[in-house]
Amino acid sequence: MHAGFSGGLDSSVLLHLLVAQARAGRLALRAVHVDHGLSPNASAWVAHCRDACAAYGVELRVAAVAVGRAGGQSLEEQAREARYRVYESLGDGVVALAHHADDQAETLLLQLLRGAGPKGLAAMPELALQRRGARIWRPLLGVSRAEIAAAGRAAGLHWIEDESNRDTALRRNFLRSRILPLLAQAFPHPARTMARAARLQGDAASLLDELADADLAVLLSSDGHALALQPLSLLGPARQANVLRRWLARAGTRAPSEARLQAMLVALSAPGRRGRMEWWLGGIGVRRRGLRLELVRREPPQSGADGAENTRI
């Protein structure tokens, strides 16, 4: 098992707890620190993590990643994606992360304000399977930030403070420092309540996936690369959208936005649109050919090539 170790309070407490389990012979433990290179203190954080792991006798891997604005993503989003690519590169073991109940509440609020559906509102699962077989485990999701801080002080731990956590221009920090404390004045334990809501949304998302899988069993070709349009058209609009989201997710694409997915469904159902149509989501395309939708894995052709109506999603 690897422990994600930033050197901050949360990951320091998690590492301390996992070291106790490792010393009892219950697991083999290593740590991984992702250096985003975004802070002037990044090298000092690496040194702190090396010293802490050396004191525990835990092997530490430091992974330096390059983060910069691209594709309209914020630095936060790019940094997160870079971290998870590192976790995926570790192989098929377990990576333990120190996300807790307050993190879960912040994620739920961010997703809600983005207009997310049940899958987004489910926020972070306790156990998630990544590409290449890596499993992400979040054992502290039911624990509050205050409880983690108390545990860190009781254990006499030393941790670093990321100066970016004070920047309320970052949305998560704004929710953490302004909104959640305000909610706590009127609602008891709002973070735990929202964490419970996220779990219930996760249940709903799982049921929607099961429904989509049942529909796909009827609609898909034997190789899974083509979807029959005529029986798809017999489903209600919400169920059609649910099927397409699930099919695209299983193909490894990033989920299209609600607006783009609806535009795709409208185009497919429009009378008189008999030409070939293609939509692209990154490196994977969806092509209508006759009464089938097919997955295409290549670069999109130039607009208008082969008489196609090409739409990039």
- Give yes or no for residue 286 having a pLDDT over 70: yes
How many domains does the structure of the chain reveal? 2
User: 226 and 286 in one domain?
Assistant: yes
Confidence class of residue 275 from pLDDT cuts 50, 70 and 90? low
Predicted pLDDT at 307: 35
Residues near 204 by beta carbon (within 8 Å), at least 6 away in sequence: 118, 122
At 31, list the tokens. Answer: 């740590």
- Give yes or no for residue 86 having a pLDDT over 90: yes
Among 45-59, 70-84, 263-277, the minimum mean pLDDT is found in 263-277
Average pLDDT rounded to a whole number, residues 113-136: 88
User: 23 and 109 in one domain?
Assistant: yes
Nearest in space to 242 (alpha carbons), one of 220, 221, 258 = 258
Q: Indicate whether 283 belongs to any domain.
A: yes
User: 277 and 180 in one domain?
Assistant: no
Write down which residue in 175, 193, 211 finishes a domain: 193
- Give yes or no for residue 78 having a pLDDT over 90: no
User: 179 and 71 in one domain?
Assistant: yes
Average pLDDT rounded to a whole number, residues 270-274: 61
User: 301 and 157 in one domain?
Assistant: no
CATH code of residue 294 = 3.30.465.60
What is the span of the domain harbouring residue 299? 220-312
Predicted pLDDT at 37: 87
Strand ordering across the sheet containing 277-281: 226-228, 292-296, 284-289, 277-281, 309-312
Average pLDDT rounded to a whole number, residues 72-86: 83
CATH code of residue 9 = 3.40.50.620
